[in-house]
Structure 1
Amino acid sequence: MNGGKPGVDRDRREGLLALATALRPELHRYCARLMGSVIDGEDVVQDTFARAFVAPDELCAVPQLRPWLFRIAHNRALDLLRSRATRVAEPIEAALEIVDDSKADAVETLMRKEAIETAVSRFAELPVAQRSVIILKDVLDEPLAEIAALLGISVDAVKAHLSRGRARLREINARTDPFPDARIASANVVRYINLFNQRDWDGLRALLAEDVRLQQSMHPPRSGAADVGMFFTIYAKSEGLWLKPAWVEGREVIAVFEHRAAPKPTHFMWLEWREGRISFIRDYRYVGYVADDARLVLASDVRSSGHGTKL
């Protein structure tokens, strides 16, 4: 495959890698809603890239990169959903409910707006087929024929799932409280945030367990206190960053703001603790799109900088 024109193949491969990276936010919008979690959605995206580019030279043989990546991500997400026993069976009668093509454009626009504004976690209440079709059509604006090709079903089946899914999503949105209540931050997280906001990097390194691990999307993982300690050296170069305790999807996280008065965070991180020491850090600094879809609630804790604000 590389015979005669290695430079051309290398340029094409690098171009495809750059294009694939540019597709990450769109892939995440799909995977997060399919999984019902911005965190799980990014795990699927990360796994998709690991699987897709294990042999970069094979990229040159990929006819259409975007549908190829979406198919890998879709199949990986379904594997995870099945393994967690969360997949809901699609009623057979749904195939009889075909969406009316004669509906006005204004109604279609309203449907799309509702889907886009729906919290990521609520999509998990839909059967998987309805979930996939709603996301692809109403969130990503994919043509019906391309949705059918990706899911391996007919266009009429796509229309059926779309009709049933939209109706269910309206019911879900009508009965679901839009935001969870603010919670109180844990002592460990408050300690971490206060040390960070005071720029006490040595104090933060002292919190690391010897076998601590660090994971950042698009970067190789780090392990061990010495290597992970470099994490704070990198953050020390970014002046003005301000941390606040927060919650997302029932998980205590740390919201990272560009400066103390910034209206919304650029990203977030979450920590795991063992006997008062940090054993794991998951940082989303390089994939800010994860925070864009997150329903993040600042913790209410007078000992820290959080004010209970809902973002």
Structure 2
Amino acid sequence: MSAGRPPRNDDRRAELLALAGELRPELHRYSARLMGSVIDGEDVVQDTLARALVALEELEEMPPLRPWLFRIAHNRALDLLRGRTVRLTEPIDAAADVADEASPDPVEMLMRQEAVKTAVSRFAELPTTQRSVVILKDVLDEQLSEIAALLNLTVDAVKGHLARGRARLREINAQAATLAEPRPASAAVARYVALFNQRDWDGLRAMLAHDVKLNQATHPLRVGAADVGMFFSIYAKIDGVWLAPAWLEGREVIAVFEDRADQKPSYIMWLEWHDGRISFIRDYRYVRYVAADAELVLAPDAKPAGEGE
């Protein structure tokens, strides 16, 4: 072993990967609400785990992994948000009273329930610090002291941000519009869905660009039409999978039903196109928590679940 290189890197990596598998849904619940998007939130989770594996090699001492991963996710999300919009400013008021976290009163519990039920996209309307505090406290039920350590704030400041964030979230929910009206599927996605449901795998392979990429989150990236074409060979062995065009966060996606009698899809796919061919496939089969919080709207021409061909 070379001098200066931390020992037991294989053990560290194994410990990190084991925890990451358990923590992914929780990291996504945080990242998705911070980004205001379940899709962007999963990108943050993947970036977080990749960065953590690289950083772990250089650390002299093993950090407490859970707060360390949340800090990486938090910083990565903020980097992306800074690149997207100018951050909102917010005054630091005197800390508002927040109920004792060890024995929350009924009002406190109602606030937490409201945050959990709030649509992911609405969190984006909160200033970022308020957003982080409300998500960590009311969605993930973190301790105030742990939130303060993660965000480099005092506990009193956390209480202040929490009180203001909760109040603002109630206003947002009261003013929120209903789900968007269904939009028709594009011709390209409608064709992909039709070919898949007909089990025309060769027809689907013909739609792939020569340099197409496939991302399945927990699996290595596939690149090239030949390698990505194996994706359809795998689905050919699975009975009952049915696709429907859908819309999510303004993006055209594909809802995946594992049983046509199901009322809700099991997960989603998302395709990117270049010159009329598929250039990127994101298949969320192995990270189904992405669809759990999604405000998914099926296209009006999608066949209802349970309806025969």
Fold shared per TM-score above 0.5: yes
Q: What is the alpha-carbon distance in structure 1 between the residues aligned to residue 72 and residue 12 of structure 2?
A: 21
| SS of equivalent to 1:279 | strand
One-letter amino acid matched to 2:27: L
Pairwise CA distance, 1:10: 3.7
Q: Secondary structure at the match of 2:254?
A: strand
- d(CA) in 2 for partners of 1:224, 1:9: 33
SS in 1 for 2:142: coil
Determine the structure 1 residue equivalent to 2:226: 226
Give me the whole-angstrom Cα distance separating, in 2, the residues matched to 1:230 and 1:196.
14
Identify the match of residue 99 of structure 1 among 78, 81, 97: 97
From the superposition, tell whether residues 113 and 18 of structure 1 become closer, same or farther in structure 2 (CA, over 3 Å).
same
**Aligned to 1:23, what secondary structure does the other structure show?**
helix
3-state SS, counterpart of residue 268 of structure 2: strand
Between the aligned partners of 2:213 and 2:182, the Cα distance in structure 1 is 29
Alignment partners' CA distance in 1, 2:169 and 2:186: 34
How far, CA to CA, are the matches of 1:213 and 1:10 in structure 2? 29
AA aligned to 1:276 is: G
Indicate whether 1:22 and 2:15 are aligned: no
Q: Partner of 1:40 in structure 2?
A: 40
Tell me, yes or no, if structure 1 residue 172 matches structure 2 residue 176.
no
Partner residue, 2:139: 139
Q: Which residue of 2 aligns with 1:269?
A: 269
Looking at structure 1, the residues matched to 275 and 57 of structure 2 have their Cα atoms a distance apart, in angstroms, of 45
61 and 20 in structure 1: CA distance in 2 versus 1, 3 angstrom threshold:
farther
**1:300 aligned counterpart, secondary structure:** coil
Q: Which runs of 5+ in 1 are unaligned?
A: none
SS at match of 2:165: helix
Distance 1:231 1:129 in 2: 41
Cα distance, 1:305 vs structure 2:
2.3
Q: Report if aligned partners of 2:48, 2:76 keep a CA contact under 8 Å in 1.
A: yes
CA RMSD of aligned residues (A): 2.2
- CA shift for structure 1 position 232: 0.7
Given the superposition, is the C-alpha separation of residues 58 and 277 from structure 1 closer, same or farther in structure 2, using an over 3 Å criterion?
same
SS state at 1:183 partner: coil
Q: Secondary structure of the residue that 2:256 maps to in structure 1?
A: strand
Task: Provide Cα deviations, 1:169-200, integer angstroms capped at 9, x if missing partner.
Answer: 00000011131111111111111111101111
CA deviation after TM superposition for structure 1 residue 286, in Å: 0.9
Structure 2 counterpart of 1:235: 235
Q: Does 1:50 align with 2:50?
A: yes
Q: CA deviation at 1:275?
A: 3.1
Q: Distance in 2 between matches of 1:289 and 1:280?
A: 21
Q: Deviations over 1:37-64 (max 9, x none)?
A: 0011111111111110025555793231
Q: For structure 2, which runs of at least 5 residues remain unmatched after alignment? A: none
Alignment partner, residue 257 of structure 2: 257
CA distance, structure 1, for counterparts of residue 215 and residue 86 of structure 2: 26
Q: CA deviation at 1:147?
A: 0.2
Q: Which amino acid aligns with 2:208?
A: L
Amino acid at match of 1:112: R
Q: Sequence identity of aligned pairs in percent?
A: 69
- Contact 1:35 1:124 survives alignment (8 Å): yes
- Comparing 203-212 with 214-223, greater Cα deviation is found at 214-223
Q: Give, in angstroms, the shift of residue 8 of structure 1.
A: 7.0
Rounded Cα–Cα distance in structure 2 between residues aligned with 1:107 and 1:154:
24
Residues 115 and 135 in structure 2, CA contact (< 8 A), matched pair in contact too: yes
State the partner residue of 1:305: 303
Give the Cα separation in 1 of the matches to 2:216 and 2:209: 18
Does residue 290 (structure 1) correspond to residue 262 (structure 2)? The answer is no
Shift of 1:204: 0.5
Quote how far apart the aligned CAs of 1:279 are. 1.5
Q: Distance in 2 between matches of 1:125 and 1:285?
A: 29
Query: SS in structure 1 opposite 2:213?
Result: strand
TM-score, normalised by the number of residues in structure 1 = 0.91
- Report the TM-score, using the length of structure 2 for normalisation: 0.91
Matches within 5 A, 1:180-195: 180-195=180-195
Superposed displacement of residue 215, structure 1: 1.6
Q: Secondary structure at the match of 1:270?
A: strand
Alignment of 1:59-78 (within 5 A): 61-78=61-78
CA distance in 2 between partners of 1:55 and 1:81 (Å):
22
Q: Is the 8 A contact 1:216 1:284 kept in 2?
A: yes
Higher mean alpha-carbon deviation, 8-17 vs 157-166, is at 8-17
Shift of 1:108: 0.7
Aligned amino acid, residue 101 of structure 1: A
